[in-house]
Structure formats: C-alpha cells, structure tokens
Chain A
Amino acid sequence: MPNPDHPPSSAERSGGSDFHIEFEGRAVRARHGDTVASALIAAGVQVLSRSLKFHRPRSVFCLSGSCGSCLMRIDGQPNTRSCQVKAEPGLRCERQNAWPSADYDLLSAADAMFPLGMDHHTMFTSPRPLNRLMQKVVHQLGGLGRLPEVDAELASAASVVCQHVAVLVIGGGPAGLAAATEAATALGQTGRVLLLESQHSVGGSYLCHPELGRDRAHAALQLAQEAGVEILTGTAAFGFYREERHAAQPGAELGFVAAASDQVLYKLSADRYVYATGGAAQNLLFIDNDRPGVMSGRAVGRLLACHGIRVGEMPLVVGCDPFADELVSALRRSGQTVIHIDGTREKLTRALGGSWVEGAEVCDERGVHRTVRCDLIVIATPPAAASELLVQHGVTVELRQPGGFVGVADAQGQTNVPTVFVCGEVSGAMTAQDAADHGARVGLSAAQDRISEQARDAAARNIGQDQE
C-alpha cells in the first residue's frame, strides 16, 4: 500500500532543502533548480497523474517535456507538465483526473473492466437506453483537468515579436549550441545567429549525463555566448508556416518559424535554418510499461545530473548504446546495484509491482523467462528524432531503427530544402559528443552557404549595374 510518508521508492539526494512547495495541501521540500516533478520525485511521491481513460497510475517518464505522463494542476493551471515548471516557494500543485484521490483512485476500475483495451467503437451500442446511459457516463468521466482559475491578464499581456536573422538554430542541445557557435564565429558581424531552446536552460542531452553533463552544457553555453549567439530559452518553436510572411521579413519569400514563450509570440525567419531539435525519449513494448518507476534513461540521468536525485537502490537498465553504458557506470558509482540487460538478446517483458515498480520479467534469446527484483526500470534506448518541424518545413524524413523519422541530409547537413540544415539526433541517433561535432560542422556549412550566396548576389548586382 502506498504511503506518502514512507515511500518504498527511496529517492535520495545530497544537500539540504531550501524551501517548500504545496502538494495537495501538504508541504514538500524543494531545492533551487528543482522542477515540480523533481521535487515530488525526491520527496518519494509515486503517482503524479492518472491516465485519461483507465486511470492507471503514472509518474515521470521523459522528464524533458515531450511525453504527457507528468501532467498536474499547477498554480491553478490544468494539464501542466510538472517536469517543465520551476519549483518556487509556496507553488501549489495537485493531481488530476482521480476520485477520491490519485493514490486511491476508484475510477481505475475502468482498467479492470477493459482488460484488453477499450473498444470505444462497439461498446454498449445497444439497446438504445443502455447506449444513452453509457454515453452520459463517458461524458461525465471524460476530460483531464478542470478549467483553469481565471487569468485574464495573459491575453492582454502577451506580445508579438517579428525578426529576420542570418541563421536561426532551433534547439539548444549539444548539436544546436555547437552549430550556433560555429555559425556565429563564421559570420562575425555580418549576420545574427539566434538560438531557440524550449526548456528553461540550454544543454539538451548534455544534461542527461550524470557526471559531466552540467559542466559540458555550461562550457558549450559559454562558447556560444562568446561567439555572439543570441539565445532565447523557455521559447519553443511550435510550427513552420509555409504560406505566410511576417512584418519584418525581407524579400518575397514565404514561410517562418513560430515560437512561443509564456508571454511572447515570435515569428522568426532566417536566411538559413538549422534544426537541432534532438529526440524524444521512447518506451519499449512490454506489459505494464507505463507503471510508475519505468523511466527513460535520460530522465534518470537528468535527475542525477541536474537535481542530485538518486531514485531507488536497484535499477534495471535496458539498452546497449554508449549512453546506456555510461549511465550504468554512473549509477553504480552512485552506489546503486544495477542490473543491465541489452534489450536485444535479453528483453524486458513485464514490469511488476503496484503503484511503483517492484520487479521485472525478462526473457532471453532462448525464450527463457526470469524474474528480477528491482525498484526502477530504466529505458536507456535511443530516442526518436523530433522531426515534426522539419516535416512542416518540407524536409524529407526516413524511418530508421534506431533514430525514428530522421531528417535526410548530406554530409554538410544540407537537406532537400536548400536553406534548411539538420544536425545532431534529429538527423540520426548519435552520442552527445558526436552531436556536438556534427553540429559544429553543419553550423559552419550553413553559415558558409549563406556567405557565398550573399557574395554571388553582390556580384550579380555589380554585373547588373555595369550593364546599365
């Protein structure tokens, strides 16, 4: 039975507490630099949310704002990704979509009622009175968070910024930071380089490396700043709009990137676009793969690197790439007893436990199953390319394993759209160091491509003037 005061999911961290946030009426310790999610994990809170239909317990999975497992009501705002909200003294947070509480949610009866999944197409279609009743029940139980507490300020407070720059870099991870640095160095005073980062701080996958992560992120940021890169953090590019123009856009070209922060709507165009959007953590297919305590490798790495939080004593790590190996070593050095399987020869088939992982079933090549005891399951397989913006921009993508739908590009990172470049994980699965090297190459070639185009245009203008 889950007991919020004595959680079996032992999360430990070094250092003292700085302040408290308010979690469903009780005070939870938090440290500066915490997000709501990290503070709650550190406090041993197991269930952060209940799933939409089956009310299955959920906790953090990606910890980077891409999945929907940690949605909570925070400061009166429903459906807020708790991993993306900075913890602040007195911040109110509560769980949603549960009755009477997220720890004991009677609505999770839906999970048992539909053991294979909910056939929402054919369930209770007749007789008519039963169908009507079912629809009423579904309607009343539907939806996630309650309406927000009124915040009429936002509409009037938000503003619009339109800008055109020489190089727009989207994504502030290893690849994006390196690309922006190289581009800004090459362009010097001849053109602006603007970098967008959706999270509150740059670093991307650097920050998931338990030991060196923060130092590397800091170093890369410093280089970018020295090179003159303009950086907008907490600003997420959310679309490339091919048919429209903004007020500050030169020439006749159509298309711009739209981005948003809490208060500002940006419309940004560029001579060259460099997409370094990285990837989204992916889960594997096994029974009860959504159980709290199943986390992505990057989430576990980030908790350790950025928040000093060590979750559990006996993690089971799945994955065989260099990141998985590094993570296993780091977790062992932190004092944990790690079970490591590669995920190919030996596969994870089931997560055991209640409202938190208590074990796992794995299966080897011969089909022999064994049960292991563990208090955390770490999915440390490569993420899938975050290529949504690329597709909107008209760039060809192809499905790779691993890698997901990656942007197709030549060695310089140039895509089928002449002004668009890609680097890092959005162009293929790679380590953070390789992404940084790739980003540097691609950033330089994007800048050079822009410089040589301007030289050609200038020459053409001169010839034109001579002929007149």
Chain B
Amino acid sequence: MSARERMPASAAQLATEAETVIIGGGIMGLGIAYELGKRGRSDIHVIEQEYLTSGASGRNGGGVRMQWSTELNIRLMQESIEICRNFASELGINVWLRQGGYLFLIRSQQELSRLEQTVALQNRCGVPTRILTPQEALRVVPELNPSGFVAACYNPRDGVVFPWPFLWGYAHAASELGVHIHTYTKVTAIEVRGPHSFVVTTSKGTIRCERVINCAGAWSPAIAKLVGVELPNHPHRHEILATESLKPFLNPLVSVLSSGLYFSQSMRGEIVGGITVPDVDDGTVRLGSRLRFLEDMSAELLSVMPCLSSVRVLRQWAGPYDVSPDGLPILGEPDGIPGFYLVCGFVGHGFMMAPVIARHYAELLCGGARHPVFDRCRLSRFQDGSTEKEVMIIG
C-alpha cells in the first residue's frame, strides 16, 4: 500500500479528552502536530474548519528564501530550506522544491544603499547573496526589461515549492504517529477552566485538554478572542494569478520590493505571482477576486517582463495574510493564560517559515531548547516597545 493510500481525510470521532488541541489545519498546525508526534506527544486533535489547503497554506505562491533583513529570519530560513530539501525523503511526498534563486530588482540608489547592508548581513550568516548590475541580472533572466531597475540582489539558493503536498505530508505522517485530524469542523467556544485546563467546543463535540495551540492564521484573532485575548494582528487579502503553462524559461523568483510584485514559474510551467493591492482591512477575512488586482499585477509584471504581454491569465484567487504590526510573528503564551499558545502574525511568509517554526515549537513544548525566536516574538513586545521591523517583506 503506498503512502498516498493511507492518507487520512478526517478522523472519525473527537475524543472527550486530549493533551493538546491544535486549532487550524494549515501547515503551521499540521507541522507542529507532526513534530510533537515525532517526540512522542501525539495525544493531539487538530481542528480544521474546512479542508486541508483551504486557508493561506493552500493559497500562497510557494516562495522560500534566505534573503531577509534580520539575522533571526535569515537563520530560521536557512534551517527551513534545509527541512524542505529533505521533506520528500523524510515524509514520502514530493514538494517540488526548486532552488532557482530569488532575484530582487532594485529601482533606486536609495533602495540599493539600504539593501547593501542587508546583503552584508546575509553574507555574514553564510547566505551567498550578491548584488548584481543590470547586465549581470540579465544573464540570470534575459527576458527582463533592462530599463526597469538599477541593480538586483540575487541568492541562487532561494527557491519555490509546491505548497499543497506539505499539508498532506505532515497530515499523513502525524496521523501515523497517532494524531487525529478533523476537517470540516469548527471551533465555536473555548472555556478556560484554569492554568493548563481548557474545554474546546466544536461542531463535532467538546474536548477537554491541557493545551490549546492557536494556528488559525488569519482567523487567529477571532480564536484568541474566545479566551478574551485581543491580538494586534489582522487579516489582509492577498491576491495571486496563474498564467497558462509555458516551457521552463524562468529560473529564479523575481520580485520588486518597492511595488510588492513577485512572480516565478511553477514546475507545471505557469507564471504564478502577486502584488500588493490596498484593501479595507477591517478584521474580516475576504477572499473574493478583484479585477483591480489583475490590472495592477499585469501592468507591473509587463513593465518588468514585456515579452509576456500576450500570455494569458488562467485564474486568479485570494488568500488571507495574517499581518502583524512589525512583520514578525507572534509566538508563545499570552500573559495570564498558561497553556494557550499563539502561532500567528506571519504576514505573507508563514508557509516558508512553518517547517522550522514547527520544529522549534515542538522542542519548546516538550521542554527542550528555547529558540531565541520565542523571546523575540512574544506578544508583550507590542506593550514594551521592543519591536524591530523586518523590512524585506513582499506584499
């Protein structure tokens, strides 16, 4: 029987009691479930409101990169990409990692001088990022419009993955370790009985547990509210398009930081990309499609790569970013509710960080080493003002 034949769609019953309830069956929730299970702590129920891949984990562009402006993120992503490289052989499912690099196009001298420092930092961390002249960049991607940029940052070891199989891979492996996954099940209430004592009510029944992990992404503020915690992160619609399939010609993911444009060519040959488009951002998760996105995206994409002008768009969709005020995630327990764990606020890069975050989170929960990310990303930083903004954020 192949691994694929044993993958679970949804567990039969919700237990009345468990050690851990994970809310959200995205890559974060499933990744943590798997890593906990691997450490022998598999008395876990994962509650997903729709199907696996229904949220941001199934709607993102699949970029994985080491080019960041903070050492913390650089180091985390170096580790995460290493996990991605081994994912297929460890979890038995292809995730189609292709390390074609990330090519950031720089449009002004000011931007260039800012990025020179971050490139130096990346180099100190062992990331082989280089600043390229337009001529050098054209050797990497000959189809670029040479008049559109003054320089570029290029790390050939960044890449893209196909996001969906990560979820099935983690879900399958976690299930084999004894984790229960419930799809199409909603959490409606959480009662805090005391420290490390919760009753979670779902549309499939109630369950008592010692630990609740909020991995609900864009829905995490709503979940936190169920225990009386106000989170500073908010959902933001991010749209993506995919074109018809072309023979492989584009190696790296190309991005323009100043407009938030990015695009890459998938293993199936489609050009997949997005761009920043303003939205209402009133706390509602919006997933509708807008023509305005197609217009902005097409215009910016063609300004960078005019030869795509007659290439047709096949579809557009939206996914929910989970935006934190400083662009860094929110992790750990909020004050006063021991046993309630946050894993949210990853903006648009939760997917690429999930493999490494899941690993360190499981370590933390099992009493192992406490990675510095947990101190850096605690919720209370927004009160005591110790934030440091990540600037290399797309979209």
Contacts and interface: CB of A to CB of B under 8 A. Distances in A.
B11 interface: no
B306 A150 contact: yes
A155 interface: yes
A154 B302 CA distance: 11
A395 to B, nearest CB: 15
Interface in B272-307: 288-292, 302, 306-307
A267 B98 contact: no
B347 to A, nearest CB: 23
Given A125-B89, A138-B267, A155-B302, A241 B290 contact: yes
Interface in A55-82: 77-79
Given A120-B94, A145-B246, A239-B289, A128 B89 contact: yes
A145 B92 contact: no
Most buried by A among B267, B288, B291, B307: B291
B247 interface: yes
A131 B291 contact: no
Interface in B72-100: 86, 88-89, 91-94, 96-98
A138 B168 CA distance: 21
Interface string B215-253: 000000000000000000000000000001111110000
A152 B309 contact: yes
A121 B291 contact: no
B92 A79 contact: no
B158 to A, nearest CB: 16
Contacts of B97: 135
Contacts of A78: 244, 246, 311
A135 B94 contact: yes
Interface string B130-166: 0000000000000100000000000000000000010
Contact of A145 (B2, B247, B267, B292): B247
Nearest to A97: B247
Contact of B248 (A140, A150, A244, A267): A140
A258 B298 CA distance: 15
A144 B245 contact: yes
Contacts of B267: 135, 138-139, 142
Contact of B290 (A139, A147, A244): A244
A122 B249 CA distance: 26
Q: Which of B247, B292, B307 has its CB near the most chain A CB atoms (within 10 A)?
A: B247
Nearest to A96: B247
A398 to B, nearest CB: 21
Contact of B246 (A131, A143, A150, A154): A143
A139 B2 contact: no
B90 to A, nearest CB: 9
A148 interface: yes
Interface in A82-120: 97, 119-120
B94 A243 contact: no
B291 A244 contact: yes
B94 A121 contact: yes
Interface string A129-170: 001000100111011111110111111000000000000000
Contacts of B2: 119, 122
B165 A121 contact: yes
B92 A126 contact: yes
A117 B246 CA distance: 22
A144 B246 CA distance: 5
Contacts of A138: 96, 267
A241 to B, nearest CB: 5
A150 B245 contact: no
A122 B288 CA distance: 33
Nearest to B247: A143
A18 B287 CA distance: 52
Contacts of B165: 121
B202 to A, nearest CB: 28
A413 B303 CA distance: 45
A453 to B, nearest CB: 27
A79 B94 contact: no
Most A CB contacts (10 A, CB to CB) among B143, B165, B306, B309 go to B309
B9 interface: no
A146 B143 CA distance: 13
B94 A123 contact: yes
Contact of A148 (B91, B98, B311): B311
A147 B88 contact: no
A97 B244 CA distance: 14
14 contacts: A77-B310, A79-B312, A121-B3, A125-B92, A131-B88, A135-B94, A135-B97, A143-B269, A147-B307, A152-B309, A155-B309, A241-B290, A243-B288, A243-B290
Given A125-B91, A143-B247, A146-B249, 19 more contacts: A78-B246, A119-B2, A121-B165, A122-B3, A122-B4, A124-B94, A125-B88, A128-B86, A131-B89, A135-B98, A142-B247, A142-B268, A144-B244, A146-B246, A147-B307, A152-B307, A154-B310, A241-B291, A244-B291
Closest 9 CB pairs of A and B: A143-B269, A126-B89, A143-B247, A144-B245, A125-B88, A154-B309, A79-B244, A155-B309, A241-B291
Interface of A: 52, 77-79, 97, 119-128, 131, 135, 138-140, 142-148, 150-155, 239, 241-244, 258, 267
